[in-house]
Structure formats: C-alpha cells, structure tokens
C-alpha cells in the first residue's frame, strides 16, 4: 500500500474522475437542501444565503443611494444588509475592500437572490476557464469544479473565483501578452494583501512592461473612483483599516478557524500578537527570498507560476479559507509540469492531500486547533521548490557538458 502512496499509482485516471464526481454530487445535494430549508434567503442558522455576499449587496445599494463612504460605517452597513431580507436581523458582514471594488458592488445591486446568482455565474466560469487553459485535459473541468474550496467560496458568495481568474490569467499570458497580464494584476489590487510578492517577482525578473501596465491600471481605477465617489470613500477606507487589523485580524472577530495564515495559527495556539507578527514576517521573508531564487533560476515556467500563486497566499496574514480557490492555480500549474516531465515520489499523493484540504480545514482548526490549510500551502510550496532544485541539479551537469547522450 505504501508503495502506491509513494508512486501515486493509487490515483488512477478512473479515480481522478470518480472521486471529484462523488464530492461534487454531495456538494450539490447539500447546497440544494441548504437553500430549500432557508426562510426568505435566511438559512437554519439565521445567516443569509451567501453570507458574506450580503456585504457586497449592501455596499452596492449604499453606493447607488449616493453614499459611497457608508459601507465603511459598520452601523450603516449592517442596516443596509438587513434591508436585503426585509429588515430581519442578520449578522454583520463588514465591508473591508478598497473603493475600487465598490464599482462591482454597485453593478450587483439587483434583488439579492438574483445578484448572488449573477455574481457566481460570472466569476465561476472565469475561474474554470483559467484552470482549463492551464491544464487542457478532459477531466480538468470536473476536478476544478469539485475542488472543495469552490464549495466554500460558493457558500459565502465570495470573490475567490475572481481572484483565481485574475492571478491565473495573468500568469498564463505573462510573457506572451505582458500588457494584458499587467492589467489583470492591476485589477487584482482589489485584494491588496495578495499583491505583496507580485511586484517583487516582476522587478526581480525585469518585466517592466507588466509593471507599467499594472501601475497604469491601478492609477486609472483609483482616479476613476476618486472622481466618481469623492475623497470621502477613500478616507473612510483608510480609517477602516485599523478596525480590520485590530478587531478582525488580531482579535479574531470572524473566527480563527476561517483564516489560514501562520499569524492566525500562532494566535489560535495562544501566542501573543507580537509573536504572531514576528512569525508571519519571518515566513513572508523566507517565502519572498525563495520565490526570487525560483524566478531567477532556469526553472520551468510552470513551477515559477505555481510558486507565485502559492506564495501569494502564504505571505499574507489575512487569507481566508475561501481564498484557497487561488490554490487551484498553483496545483494546476504543478500538475501541468508533472504531466509533461513526470511526477517524483509522493508528489501525486501530496497533491491529492493539498486538493482535499479545504474540505476540512475550517472544521479541524475550529475543533482541535490544527491549521491544515496552512500545512497544505506549505506542503505545496515545498514541493515546488524541491522540484525546481532537483531539476536544477539534473540540468547543471548537462549545461557543463558532463552528461553525454
């Protein structure tokens, strides 16, 4: 048995199709039951269907009411969220995005149920398209759709699909269409915590066209929202960052089990804030250093792309379980590399572990304090670096003429 785990022979092509199909069927059935038992879009736990999406809907309605700064006022935001459900009391889901994302929210200010359906119908296919372009195989769509982080994102009405599509899309066209890649990276700035390492890689590899396109995109979107919404929205956003840091991140207001970072793991285990920040900064520096090494080596592009996608999640202290949709981009690029160059010992089995992790990450963190999401990201990143180092070592003798055909 262990021999099959080592080689990955247990994961046959039939099982690659069967396991995701089973998981997808269970997820669809659970979703149907969850929605059917809801009362006027409020589930049995008293939470809105789509939970976090209620904050997007509320922010959009406030913008259309001519109050673009109101979403950053917790009381006003909560009142607007309640309006989506006929004034019924619902939990507060705060709005923590920069004003550039208010444009999307305003466009989604439809009747709540239709708005949620439209948001998922627009972003889910974009995610699936990108993953299918990375790994153009018949089973890709099924595996990508059954990825457990997809269900987590759907349940929260969140933006993981959009983040994965923008980052994955930019990596797909980075060299062929650098201006388009820069535009996609610039649009990804709506989640600024994921953009810490991207500029570092672009500078280290001299991709100035991509940098310029990303910078112009961000300047245009920021200037446009400043002109349309006025400075009040940006000032309110800046003031809200303290609340996000102190209450949401450091205070664990949304629950430690939902955030998958090293910072949160330390806090969940009873560590002090200072220790948590120190650990997170040390990890981010280590990841940044190794990522620059990876991108400056003659490693395969698939490994570089996988490394950047995974590292973007590891570097930030604020990464939630629905953000693990982005992990599909890293998995897909690694799989594409493995299909072309072959997989080494344990790689297939560990990839299966990483793929499955979002299914249980929140529950395990909440019940026994096990940060499995963090472990999965670290595992995948270690696999990427290990494979790059091995292939680099194999290529070195050939480059010096020491290996003869």
Each residue's pLDDT tens digit, 145-162:
999 999 999 999 999 999
Residue corresponding to tokens 């909440």: 366
Provide the pLDDT confidence category of residue 405 given band limits of 50, 70 and 90: very low
Provide the pLDDT confidence category of residue 316 given band limits of 50, 70 and 90: very high
Helices 74-83, 53-64: inter-axial angle, 10-degree rounding = 100
User: What does pLDDT average to over the chain?
Assistant: 93
Residues 6+ apart with CB under 8 A from 90: 42, 46, 47, 48, 54, 81, 82
* Integer angstrom CA distances of residue 53 from 59, 94, 119, 159, 355: 10, 10, 9, 9, 25
Contact 213, 188 (CB under 8 A): no
Radius of gyration of the chain (CA): 22
* Integer angstrom CA distances of residue 33 from 27, 28, 43, 79, 397: 10, 9, 10, 28, 59
Provide the pLDDT confidence category of residue 397 given band limits of 50, 70 and 90: low
* Average pLDDT of the segment spanning 280-289: 97
Q: Please state, in angstroms and rounded to a whole number, the distance separating the CA atoms of residues 252 and 244.
A: 10
Q: Is the pLDDT of residue 51 over 70?
A: yes
Provide the pLDDT confidence category of residue 396 given band limits of 50, 70 and 90: low
pTM of the complete model beyond 0.85: yes
Identify the pLDDT of residue 403: 45
* Average pLDDT of the segment spanning 66-80: 95
């Amino acid at each position: 048995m262990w021999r099959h785990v080592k080689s990955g022979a247990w994961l046959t092509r039939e099982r690659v199709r069967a396991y995701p199909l089973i998981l997808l069927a269970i997820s669809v059935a659970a979703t149907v039951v969850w929605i059917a038992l809801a009362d006027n879009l409020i589930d049995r736990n008293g939470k809105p269907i789509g939970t976090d999406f209620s904050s997007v809907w509320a922010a959009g309605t406030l913008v259309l009411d001519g109050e673009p700064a109101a979403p950053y006022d917790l009381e006003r935001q909560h009142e607007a969220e309640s309006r989506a459900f006929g004034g019924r009391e619902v939990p507060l889901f705060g709005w923590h995005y920069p004003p550039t994302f208010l444009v999307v929210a305003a466009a989604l200010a439809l009747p709540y149920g239709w708005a949620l359906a439209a948001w998922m119908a627009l972003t889910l296919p974009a995610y699936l398209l990108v993953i299918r372009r990375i790994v153009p195989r018949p089973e890709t769509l099924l595996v990508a759709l059954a990825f457990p982080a997809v269900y987590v994102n759907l349940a929260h009405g969140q933006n993981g699909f959009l983040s994965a599509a923008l980052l994955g899309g930019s990596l797909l066209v980075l060299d062929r269409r650098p201006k388009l890649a820069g535009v996609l990276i610039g649009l990804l700035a709506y989640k600024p915590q994921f953009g810490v390492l991207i500029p570092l890689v672009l500078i280290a590899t001299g991709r100035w066209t991509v940098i310029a396109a990303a910078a112009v995109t961000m300047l245009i979107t920021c200037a446009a929202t400043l002109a349309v919404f006025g400075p009040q929205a940006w000032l309110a956003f800046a003031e809200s960052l303290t609340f996000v840091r102190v209450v949401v991140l450091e205070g664990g207001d949304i629950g430690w089990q939902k955030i998958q970072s090293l910072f949160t793991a330390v806090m969940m285990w009873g560590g002090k804030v200072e220790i948590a920040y120190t650990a997170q900064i040390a990890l981010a520096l280590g990841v940044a250093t190794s990522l620059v090494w990876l991108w400056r080596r003659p490693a395969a592009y698939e490994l570089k792309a996988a490394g950047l996608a995974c590292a973007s999640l590891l570097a930030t202290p604020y990464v939630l379980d629905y953000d693990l949709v982005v992990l599909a981009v890293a998995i897909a690029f690694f799989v594409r590399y493995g299909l072309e160059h072959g997989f080494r010992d344990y790689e297939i089995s560990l990839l299966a572990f990483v793929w499955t992790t979002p299914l249980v990450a929140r529950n395990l963190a909440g019940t026994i304090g096990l940060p499995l999401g963090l472990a999965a990201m670290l595992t995948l990143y270690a696999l990427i670096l290990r494979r790059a180092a091995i292939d680099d070592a194999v290529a070195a003798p050939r480059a010096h003429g020491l290996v003869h055909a």
